[in-house]
Each structure stands twice: as structure tokens, then as C-alpha cells.
Amino acid sequence: MAQVNDADLLTPNTSNRYELKDSELPAHCPMPGTSLWNSHPKVYLPIKENGGLAKCPYCGAEYLLKE
């Protein structure tokens, strides 16, 4: 497994709207590439079951499935 430098990680929950492609599913918050130590627990979001829109119950970030 490759080591990740903390300087390369994004601050979690800084954006409140994310657009995802079908290839990026399953949707979860926080997003990959973010620092998890100061974020909420990882939660999977039922974006397809909700018509292409889901909202994180922890931070309120919205996820939109792009066609």
C-alpha cells in the first residue's frame, strides 16, 4: 500500500456539494483523498435509490449523480 503524505490530503467537509459519476459509486462521505482523523465516520449514501441525490446525515454535504 502506498504511503500518503498528510500535505496531499484535502480538508474534510469543506465543500457542501459534490457531483459524482456512476464510476465513482458507491457514494460515501467523507470523500476519498480527505483527511479522516478530524472528520465524521464514513457513511455510505444511497444516491441511486434517492433519484440521484443524497445528503450526508453528519455534515449535510449534498451529493449529485451526474449522468
**34 phi, psi to nearest 5 deg:** -105, 155
Domain of 56 in residue numbering reads as 16-65
pLDDT tens profile 5-63? 655 655 555 568 889 999 999 999 988 777 666 678 999 999 999 999 999 999 889 99
User: Per the structure, how many domains does the chain have?
Assistant: 1
Tell me, what's the pLDDT at 10?
53
Residue 2 within a domain: no
Q: What is the DSSP string of 12-66?
A: TT--SEEEE-GGGPSEEESPTTB--TTSPPPEEE-TTTTTTEEE-TTT--EEEE-
Model confidence pTM above 0.75:
no
